[in-house]
Amino acid sequence: MNKILLFLLLIAFRAVGGSAAESPSIPAQPDSIIQEISAASSRIQSLQCTFIQTKHIAMLNDKLVSRGKIIYQQPDKLLWQYTTPYSYTFIINRQQVIIRNGQRTDVIDANRNRVFKEIARMMMNSLRGQCLTDNKSFQVTVSSGRTQGTGLEYIATLVPKRKELKQLWDRLVLHFDVANQVVSTVEMYEKNGDHTIIQMQDVVVNKPVDAKIFNVE
């Protein structure tokens, strides 16, 4: 299964609503950081953003760059769409999974497919802020630091514990912008030496979303 699709299980819980703090402080203890992120994520009702994804291929000493957008609506609707250099869309609408690849559209009932049911379940758990506390799936460590400028950030490193996740990733590193209360960068490191960096941009939270975008055309 596409590693980027499985990445959807982890991404959206990290962006939250609220205004930027003038002088954000860093909790001293990792547990406090996790509690702060989880509490903030529980306030999300909708999310819209664009992203730039750069995949570094170790064997070819090359990289692939793609762009797209993400739209989420509480409690169980999400669209992840690549727009450049190709068109590919993955949608969860309640128990329905929709995949659009070029001119082809596949609609899958997650209740009838064990794999997609698990994807939908983990996705929604992540969107509700439960990923950092999923001790069965990941060993989680968190720290605080500063960005290349003067901003403050939380850094969460997730090391897979479950067999199927270990086969995909060596570790995942999440960078959370404290002042703006959004995820800024996600790094995914694979067993084969490849790694992918996703940079989130133009994040807007708790704004109205047209529900029609989650439907089958």
Q: Are the C-beta atoms of 205 and 46 separated by less than 8 Å?
A: yes
Instruction: Give the C-alpha separation, 2 to 91, whole Å.
Output: 14
Q: Are the C-beta atoms of 134 and 158 separated by less than 8 Å?
A: no
Helix axes 114-127, 3-11, angle to 10 degrees: 40
3-state secondary structure 102-125: CCEEEEEEHHHCHHHHHHHHHHHH
Burial (0-12, 13-18, 19+ Cβ within 10 Å), 145: exposed
Give the pLDDT of the chain (217 residues) as one tens digit per residue.
445 544 554 544 444 444 444 444 555 577 777 777 777 767 778 888 899 999 999 888 889 999 999 888 887 888 889 999 989 998 888 888 888 988 889 888 877 876 666 666 665 555 555 666 777 878 888 888 777 665 788 888 889 888 877 887 899 888 887 776 667 888 889 988 999 998 888 888 889 999 899 986 6
Q: Which domain holds residue 192?
A: 3-214
Distances, alpha carbon 158 to alpha carbons 90, 136, 147, 164, in Å: 24, 12, 20, 14
CATH number, position 55: 2.50.20.10
42 φ/ψ angles, rounded to the nearest 5 degrees: -65, -15
Instruction: Give the C-alpha separation, 139 to 117, whole Å.
Output: 23
**In DSSP terms, which residues pair with 55 in a beta bridge?**
64, 196
Burial (0-12, 13-18, 19+ Cβ within 10 Å), 49: buried
Distances, alpha carbon 131 to alpha carbons 8, 34, 82, 100, 151, in Å: 12, 10, 24, 27, 24
Per the structure, the count of domains in the chain is: 1
Q: Are the C-beta atoms of 25 and 36 separated by less than 8 Å?
A: no
pTM: 0.77
Instruction: Give the C-alpha separation, 88 to 101, whole Å.
Output: 5
Q: What is the Cβ-side half-sphere exposure of residue 2, based on CA atoms within 13 angstroms?
A: 8
